[in-house]
Structure 1
Amino acid sequence: MNKFLLLLCSLVAFISCLKSAHAEFTVAECRELGFIKTQLMCSNCDKLDDFGLEAIKPHCKQCCTQDQQPAAQRTYAKAILEVCTCKFRAYPQIQAFIQSGRPAKFPNLQIKYVRGLDPIVKLLDASGKVQETLSITKWNTDTVEEFFETHLAKEGAGKSSYSVVEDASDDDDDDDFLRTNRI
């Protein structure tokens, strides 16, 4: 009887170990592993193999959030590319995109000049609410164009212009800055 009880206890311990091995990690455990659980999408874990990081893939999978839908299928009603022209030297690829004819292909793209801001893209839903904000500091011109082709809704395809908005302010000094800070 003692052997049976010992075997049963061992079996229960083994099953609980298996369960914990397949359970998701807590936010704190993921942070200790170098993952931010709230921002890590499971589709990103699948890309680890491409970089020879198969060893951390199981931990990544236990810390990730399931994608709502594949990234290629997500589209947004509108996008705002925000940048400061004073940063064009640091980001010539963004300058090249803006100064080329490429933005005209996207009628639902707005370019907004914000003083001192590194280039970002804000993706909005149909009601104008920001759904995602992405840093595009490392993107090249082709990547920016491809991103908009993939993720911007094709509504208004007949239009051939996009809008440029400069950061308005009540200060006359800011107005002078904007006059000299145009493309």
Structure 2
Amino acid sequence: MQKLVLFTLVAITCQQTHAEFTAADCRELGFIKAQLMCSSCDKLDDFGLETLKTPCKQCCTLDQQPAAQRTYAKAILEVCTCKFRAYPQIQAFIQSGRPAKFPNLQIKYVRGLDPVVKLLDDAGKVQETLSITKWNTDTVEEFFETHLAKDGKGKSSYSVVEEAVDDDDDDDYLLTNKV
């Protein structure tokens, strides 16, 4: 019986030593558990922050695959044109010739929505949804170059989905958000 109790105490101690911190614990330490990749913790030595490495490792998420290797068959950039003033970098990307470089990119205008990118697999199922509110024009383009399949897996072509507008003579892009 004594051996069982001793074994249990040792097991609990070992488990606590190797246990990861909860999201709340990590937040108190200044880490965002959901966004912290373990490869980032390895770089702390370069900046003389070795003391942060242990808690960092307990708060990090294992790097599953390098970001450059994850590709998607299709992407949908959803945004409301009424938000273009708040996100001029997204407006600049959309109104430039850059989207035409990506045949498997669709731009969809959704009333009241902050800019997001939906990444889809071959079957058209959404795999990830990312907020791109803080991205600049070059970052958006680089992201699509890195994460969209280049071999034509997406089968669809670049398109813009807008709401129907009665007056086709006016080229004002804000008409898509008329009430």
Q: Which residue of 2 aligns with 1:152?
A: 148
Q: CA deviation at 1:132?
A: 1.2
Residue 77 (1) aligns with residue 73 (2): yes
Residue 95 (1) aligns with residue 91 (2): yes
Q: Which residue of 2 aligns with 1:113?
A: 109
Q: Secondary structure at the residue paired with 2:93?
A: helix
Q: CA deviation at 1:40?
A: 3.9
In 2, are the aligned partners of 1:42 and 1:61 still within 8 Å (CA)? yes
Task: Map Cα deviations across residues 128-177 of structure 1 (whole Å, 9 max, x no partner).
Answer: 111111111111111110110000000229x9951111368xxx9xxxxx
In 2, are the aligned partners of 1:115 and 1:167 still within 8 Å (CA)? no
Alpha-carbon distance in structure 2 between the residues aligned to 1:47 and 1:80: 34
Q: Secondary structure at the residue paired with 1:110?
A: strand
Q: CA deviation at 1:181?
A: 2.7
CA, structure 1 residues 153+95, in 2 after alignment: closer, same or farther (shift >3 Å)?
same
Percent identity of equivalent pairs: 81
Q: CA deviation at 1:37?
A: 3.8
Q: CA deviation at 1:17?
A: 6.4
- In the comparison of the two structures, how many residue pairs are matched? 163
Residue 127 (1) aligns with residue 107 (2): no
Q: Secondary structure at the residue paired with 1:181?
A: helix
Q: Secondary structure at the residue paired with 1:134?
A: strand
Q: TM-score w.r.t. structure 1 length?
A: 0.71
What stretches of structure 1 of length at least 5 have no aligned partner? 1-8, 173-177
CA, structure 1 residues 120+160, in 2 after alignment: closer, same or farther (shift >3 Å)?
closer
Q: TM-score w.r.t. structure 2 length?
A: 0.72
In 2, are the aligned partners of 1:112 and 1:167 still within 8 Å (CA)? no
1:62 to 39, 53, 58: 58
Alpha-carbon distance in structure 1 between the residues aligned to 2:46 and 2:55: 16
Question: Structure 1 stretch 114-123 or stretch 18-27: which is displaced more?
Answer: 18-27
Q: Which residue of 1 aligns with 2:25?
A: 29
2:38 to 33, 36, 42: 42
Alpha-carbon distance in structure 2 between the residues aligned to 1:133 and 1:142: 19
* Letter aligned with residue 122 of structure 1: K
Q: Which residue of 1 aligns with 2:176?
A: 181
* Letter aligned with residue 117 of structure 2: V
Q: Which runs of 4+ in 1 moved over 3 A?
A: 15-23, 26-41, 43-57
CA RMSD of aligned residues (A): 3.5
Q: Secondary structure at the residue paired with 2:133?
A: coil
What stretches of structure 2 of length at least 5 have no aligned partner? 1-5, 167-172
